[in-house]
Structure 1
Amino acid sequence: MKTMTTQEVQELLENNQSINLIDVRETDEVAAGKIPGAINIPLGSLESRMSELDKSQEYIMVCRSGGRSGQATSFLENQGYKVTNMDGGMLNWNGETN
């Protein structure tokens, strides 16, 4: 499984890189703040909503601590998607949230 640190993700955003962030936390967790531009697809909905994702794109998976996003990364990888897990999750995120 490919992983990335929160700092690496923040640097991509600061350098205006076009990245696709998927936040797999529950809706109420995301309401408390998410990385700007991240799309919320709760882990429990991922299988039914993965058709919203494009297999030609790369995605960075985000959750609270890196556990659920790790599960999501493994699942999507097995389905043929290009995914990376953000290690440490929002607990380690020091960047902007909205």
Structure 2
Amino acid sequence: MDFPWIYLIPVGVIGYLLWSKRSASAADVKALLERGAQIVDVRTKGEFKAAGHPKAINIPADQLEARAKELDPARPVLLCCDSGSRSGFAVGILKRKGFKEVHNLGSWRRIQSFLS
């Protein structure tokens, strides 16, 4: 019997609702950027090379634990990826590492609306 794909719809809806509640608002992002927030794109190196914002730092999610020392824990961190799920996961990694101001920006495409 094939996998019943219909069961993925509720999982996707729940995932989106959780992501949308955790994603930083536009006002929050603008204020954080004014305070010198670091933008970290947690997509793979290949994804980032294909399309990424030049003001973002690329640290893939699977390397974030080991490379967190490249970031300044005294400055806010805005995390992004393709959809917001990997960046949501990355929030937990940095918070466990002692970062206080860590926010899920969601999709890296949102950066365009905040930075010129």
Q: TM-score, normalised by structure 2?
A: 0.65
Aligned length: 90
Unaligned runs of 5+ in 2: 1-20
Code of the aligned partner of 1:49:
R
Spell out, residue by residue over 1:4-39, the C-alpha distance to the aligned partner (whole angstroms, 9 max, x if none).
14x554xx3xxx733310000001101122123100
Relative to structure 1, the CA distance from residue 71 to residue 94 in structure 2 (aligned partners, 3 Å threshold; closer, same or farther) is closer
Residue 29 of structure 1: aligned partner: 47
* Higher radius of gyration, 1 or 2: 2
Residue 80 of structure 2: aligned partner: 62
Secondary structure of the residue aligned to 2:68 is helix
Q: 2:110 aligns with which of 85, 93, 96?
A: 93
Q: 1:72 aligns with which of 70, 82, 90?
A: 90
Query: Structure with the greater relative contact order (CA < 8 A, sep ≥ 6): 1 or 2?
Result: 1
Secondary structure of the residue aligned to 2:23 is strand
Looking at structure 2, the residues matched to 54 and 95 of structure 1 have their Cα atoms a distance apart, in angstroms, of 23
Code of the aligned partner of 1:55:
P
Secondary structure of the residue aligned to 1:93 is helix
Looking at structure 2, the residues matched to 32 and 21 of structure 1 have their Cα atoms a distance apart, in angstroms, of 17
Relative to structure 1, the CA distance from residue 54 to residue 30 in structure 2 (aligned partners, 3 Å threshold; closer, same or farther) is same
Code of the aligned partner of 1:85:
N
Structure 1 segments (4+ residues) deviating >6 Å: none
Secondary structure of the residue aligned to 1:84 is strand
Unaligned runs of 5+ in 1: none
Q: Contact conserved, 2:24 with 2:105, CA < 8 A, in 1? A: yes
Q: Contact conserved, 1:2 with 1:83, CA < 8 A, in 2? A: no
Secondary structure of the residue aligned to 1:95 is helix
